[in-house]
């Protein structure tokens, strides 16, 4: 479904550019990912992953003209979660919500959402089913 490209050390906030595989149309839809891993586990209530996204990183993420997402991974359990960074969303993330686990259903939502963004918005990102 996805073809990730590691961006290396050149980008202070972004880790991957991810293309959609098999998307139709003349352009290949893509999105950016900031990846965060932790061995600190989860908060108690609400059950969030203990990864932090600073206010500076959030400002950088929403400034990009492609869809930006943050993926948090619990290294011990090998569980991942995703959240969209949207304009008007939280200014920082003290811990990552576990509402959107990286499972088949969430990956399908992501796969459907990205082309729709490019078809309708292009350069604005104020809503997401993964926010």
CATH (domain of 13):
3.40.1350
The total number of structural domains in the chain stands at: 1
Query: Does the residue 130 lie in any domain?
Result: no
pLDDT, one tens digit per residue, over 24-67 is: 777 889 999 999 999 999 999 889 999 999 999 998 998 887 88
Query: Does the residue 48 lie in any domain?
Result: yes
Query: Does the residue 45 lie in any domain?
Result: yes
Give the ranges where 2-103 is alpha helix by DSSP (H). Answer: 55-63
Full-model pTM: 0.87
Query: Does the residue 129 lie in any domain?
Result: no
Write phi, then psi, for 36 (nearest 5 degrees).
-130, 130
Query: Does the residue 36 lie in any domain?
Result: yes
- Residue 55, domain extent: 2-120
Q: Are 48 and 85 in contact (CB under 8 A)?
A: no
**Cis ω for the linkage preceding 64 (within 30 of 0):** no
Query: Does the residue 128 lie in any domain?
Result: no
Q: Are 84 and 128 in contact (CB under 8 A)?
A: yes
């Amino acid at each position: 479904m996805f073809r990730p490209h590691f961006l290396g050390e050149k980008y202070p906030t972004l880790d991957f550019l991810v293309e959609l595989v098999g998307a139709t149309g003349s352009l290949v839809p893509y999105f950016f990912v900031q990846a965060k891993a932790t061995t600190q586990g989860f908060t108690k209530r609400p059950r969030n992953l203990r990864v932090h996204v600073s206010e500076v990183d959030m400002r950088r993420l929403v400034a990009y003209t492609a869809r930006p997402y943050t993926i948090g991974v619990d290294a011990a359990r090998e569980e991942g979660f995703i959240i969209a960074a949207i304009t008007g969303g939280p200014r920082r993330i003290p811990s990552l919500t576990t509402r959107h686990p990286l499972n088949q259903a969430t990956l399908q939502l992501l796969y459907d959402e990205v082309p729709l963004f490019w078809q309708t918005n292009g350069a604005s990102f104020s809503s997401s089913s993964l926010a």
